[in-house]
Amino acid sequence: MREPAASTHPFGLLAEFNRPERLIEAVKQTRAEGFSSFDAYSPYPLEEMNEAMGLKENIIPWLTFGGGVLGAATAFGMQLYTNWAFPIEIGGRPIQAWQPFMLITFELAVLFSVSAAIFGMLILNRLPRLHHPVFDIREFHLAGGEKFFLIILGNDARFDADATADFLRGLKPLNLFVVGKTEEAE
């Protein structure tokens, strides 16, 4: 196991596990210990992980709904304004008839809702992130195949390199890695 050095401040500490049950139990113990800034990596989705990590309801559906409402209101308002500002009477049709407005209203609602979902997901996931310090750990490529990882990030309020390393060792991981050492500001 690579141990944290006293003169550096790591990005985080990464623990490697060989079974999903061990990772889920480690995540539950991490939350129980009071850590709030951590993440778990698995080669496939684990149903119990959201509950174990204490993840709240997803905000993306609300962003999508809000984008759709904004798009529909924009399209409908734009068409109303255009017909009132430049009235053209065709075949006795009323100036503010809503039925012909529905096609454009639907199209902009879909465009805005999809855009809100995509950009909301990117912003909430802090993407695009071209490099993550965890990729510097040689063994991390196994997260795509057969291993499970838990990282406690260095920006956590309870993070102390030595105490956190001791806590992670108590979870009996296969390996413990220091991720992204940076020199402390003096």
Of 95, 124, 153, the one marking the end of a domain is 124
pTM of the model: 0.71
86 sits in which H/E element = none
Give the separation between CA 161 and CA 157, rounded to whole angstroms. 12
pLDDT tens per residue across all 186 residues of the chain: 555 544 467 999 999 999 999 999 999 999 999 999 999 999 999 999 999 999 888 899 999 999 999 999 999 999 999 999 999 888 888 888 889 899 999 999 999 999 999 999 999 988 888 888 998 898 888 777 889 999 999 999 999 999 999 999 999 999 999 998 654 433
Q: Do 140 and 101 belong together in one domain?
A: no
Of 75, 95, 124, the one marking the end of a domain is 124
Of 124, 140, 157, the one marking the end of a domain is 124
Task: Return the closest-CA partner of residue 66 out of 25, 121, 114, 105.
Answer: 114
| CATH number of the domain residue 134 falls in | 3.30.70
- Structural domain of 82: 60-124
